[in-house]
């Protein structure tokens, strides 16, 4: 992803995550101005985006806010299947960020006892 795109994401109060599937064979044959569709909006986790990299770059850039999952444009997971796609995207993105949050252990100071 371009630096400009990430600057825009970081300035946003709540980035909206979409994915896409790209038909590279169509682009190679006809280009992006050809007669055939070559890209489809997808719910995160069903497209070609490497979300582990995206989340890592956001974190490395200091972003700690919320993100929104947008999936109603997905040609498969829309209508009656939209919530199925949304739940899959949520679980998929949790894994991309490293799984469920696990707090660091709290190490207390050793207690000193007097031997008498």
Residue partners of 111: CB distance under 8 A and separation at least 6: none
**Per-residue pLDDT at 110:** 74
User: Which residue(s) pair with 53 in the sheet?
Assistant: none
Phi, psi of 39, rounded to the nearest 5 degrees: -145, 145
Whole-number Å distance between alpha carbons of 92 and 51: 9
How would you write the pLDDT of the chain (116 residues) with one tens digit per residue? 455 555 555 555 667 778 999 999 999 999 999 999 999 999 999 999 999 999 998 889 888 888 888 878 899 999 999 999 999 999 999 999 999 888 999 988 777 767 65
Quick one: tokens of 33? 């101005």
pTM: 0.71
Residue 21 near residue 47 (C-beta atoms within 8 A): yes
């Amino acid at each position: 992803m371009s630096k400009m795109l990430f600057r825009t994401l970081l300035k946003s109060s709540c980035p909206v995550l979409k994915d896409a599937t790209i038909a590279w064979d169509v682009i190679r044959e006809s280009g992006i101005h050809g007669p055939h569709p070559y890209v489809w909006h997808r719910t995160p986790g069903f497209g070609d985006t490497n979300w582990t990299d995206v989340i890592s770059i956001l974190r490395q850039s200091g972003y700690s806010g919320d993100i929104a999952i947008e999936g109603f444009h997905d040609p498969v997971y829309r209508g009656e299947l939209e919530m199925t796609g949304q739940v899959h995207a949520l679980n998929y993105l949790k894994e991309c960020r490293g799984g469920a949050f696990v707090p660091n252990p709290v190490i207390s100071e050793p207690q000193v006892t007097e031997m008498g």
